[in-house]
Structures are given as C-alpha cells and as structure tokens.
Amino acid sequence: MKIKNRRVVNVILAMLAIFLGIIFYYNSVISNPLNMDGDNIEIEVLDGESFNSVLDNLNDQGILRSKLMIKLKLKLEKQIIILIPGTYNLDKNVSLDELTKKLQLQSSNINQVKVTIPEGFTIELIAARLEENGMFNKDEFINAVKTYSLPNFVKNDERKKYNLEGFLYPDTYFFNKDTTPDEAIKIMITKFQEIFKKVEDRTNKVINDSDIETIIIKASLIEKEAVLDEERPLVASVIENRFKNNMNLAFCSSVNYVVGYDGKELLKNSDISVDSPYNTYINSGLPVGPITNPGEKSILAALEPAETDYLYFLLLKGEGGKQYFSKTAEEHERIKKEQGY
C-alpha cells in the first residue's frame, strides 16, 4: 500500500514538474518570442496581412521560439490585432506585447515619415515643414499646390495667393518616404473632408459645397485671431456682428497674411493700407480666400458663433492669450490705451 501511494505521489510530482515547466517556458516565450543571431531584424507586413500570417513567416525563417505558445496566448486573451502595412525593425529582446503594439503603430514603420502640421500653418509653412522632415523640396510642394486639380468646394480665383489655402488640414501625418507632393496634398484634403463631415454631424447641419469656402475663410480668421479655444466662438461672433453693422472686419491677421508678419509685429499704417483683396481694413466683407489652414475648433466656431454684442477684441498683454471683448469703440480704445498699444 505504501509503495502504491509513493507511486501516486511520484506521478503527481512529475505532472506538477511538467506543468511548471510548461508555465515557465510559456512565460519565457511570451517575454522573448524571437530567436535570432543578430540584434535586430526587418520584417515587412503586407496590406491586409494577418498577424497569424506574420507569425507563420517568422516561424518558417526559424525566428520564432514557439509559434504554438504565442498563438495560445493570443487565443486565451482573444486579442484582435489589426496590422499596419509597412517595414518594421524588430529588436531581438522585444516582448510579444511590444511586438504586437509595434506592428499596429504607424510611427514604428521605418518606411514612413511622421510630420506634424500645427493648426494655423499656412501652405508656405507646411511646405517648409515637409522639407525639414526630408519629404521633398518646399518649392516642389508649392508648385504642386498651384497646379493641383481643385475639389468642387474650392473656388478658383486668380486673386488668391493659393487656391488650396485653408483646405490642407493640420494634423500629424505618417507619409511613406516615396509619397509625392500631389499624394501628400490629396491626403491632407481627404483629412479636411473627414473633419468637415464630423463638424457637420456634430452641428446637425448640411453645408452646400458652394458655402464651404466662406465657412473656411471665417474659420481661418478665427484660427489666427483667437489664442484660447474657449474664445473662438467669441471671435466668430465679432465677425458676424461687424457684418450686421456694415463694418469692415479690420483684422490684423488678414494683413499679416499679405505682408508676411508672424503676428508678433505691430502693423504699421503703410501695412494697413496695402492694396490686397485679403486686406480687411480697406475692403468690406471677407478676404478673397482663407489666410491659413484652420483646425476643427475654429471650423466649429465659424459654424456656431457665440451670441454676443461684441464688435472689438484686443489681446491682453501677459494674460496667456486672453482677449478683451468690447461692445463699443470707446471701450476698445480705452483698453488699448491701458494696455499700451
């Protein structure tokens, strides 16, 4: 009887040792799934390729320590992995979690260039940013902008500096290294259309193509004049109120676009009188076209301006971008004097 009990114990211990060994091996594989001689390896993920297909390819090359253990983990955790096509550099010490995350991040693709276009960048600033990131020469991009086939919602007007100003949406992009200027323009216009549709849905409005440019011109002015997001609808209200009162907008940003200031310099009298269809000091109504490429919040403000009686606003010094909004010229002039403008 004792011998029989001893055998049972030995069997249990053996099974436990095997189980613990499997657990140890499983954890070891998950923490370090790759088995290769070098420090890193490049792998290519094709368009539409599944993670199982990538694992099969790695396994065929003898790079995986255990395809079985990896697929077991994925099945147990019921992970849904959607890969982004591209070429990736994998470190031999990468964990399975790090591996799956890397193959789902555009920024990890070594054949792509990450370019961030801030809100309020003009086409010329976008061109310079693309050149800085090694995409292509800025003049090459600007020439492509000038010859690009215009979407239906963009009016062709020879008086404009660039017909596409306002419609190259500011965002962080991941361009393939071989992306052409025309392809980059198309990507940014497509993003603009996506954001504009999002704003339409949010405001429950349907905007005709013929009205889109007017909205974007207003949004571009709001983008350049407002610093704080919460004040964008207030700036939008000034635009609407000035039109209701048959006043010129007289926005410095419209002149800055012509004379090339970045907004920090004070306009001179000679600047204010510059002969340009963008100059809202000497021309009534809106500028001939957008003066920058606005973000979503400025577009939203253009569609939904605040309800106010404000006709003026002034940037307060040392207040972190806060504006003072006034209803009368007398109040506006008083604040200007107090601020030392």
| Residues 251 and 280: beta-carbon distance below 8 Å | yes
| Number of Cβ atoms within 10 Å of the Cβ of 191 | 17
176 Cβ contact partners less than 8 Å away, ≥ 6 residues apart: 111, 112, 113
Q: What is the pLDDT of residues 306-326, one digit of tens each?
A: 999 999 999 999 989 999 999
Closest among 228, 128, 218 to 166, alpha carbons compared: 218
pLDDT band at 3 (very low <50, low <70, confident <90, very high): low
Amino acid at 21: G
Tell me how far apart the alpha carbons of residues 220 and 96 are, in angstroms, rounded to a whole number.
45
pLDDT mean over 97-104: 83
User: What is the reported pTM?
Assistant: 0.80
Instruction: Using a pLDDT cut of 70, give the percent of the chain over it.
Output: 93
pLDDT mean over 257-270: 72
pLDDT band at 92 (very low <50, low <70, confident <90, very high): confident
Tell me how far apart the alpha carbons of residues 261 and 83 are, in angstroms, rounded to a whole number.
44
- Is 11 a residue whose pLDDT tops 80? no
pLDDT band at 191 (very low <50, low <70, confident <90, very high): very high
Averaged confidence pLDDT in the chain? 89
Determine the pLDDT at residue 266. 66
Determine the pLDDT at residue 25. 67
pLDDT mean over 122-134: 96
pLDDT band at 39 (very low <50, low <70, confident <90, very high): confident
When mean pLDDT is compared across 24-28, 199-203, 217-221, 290-294, the lowest value belongs to: 24-28
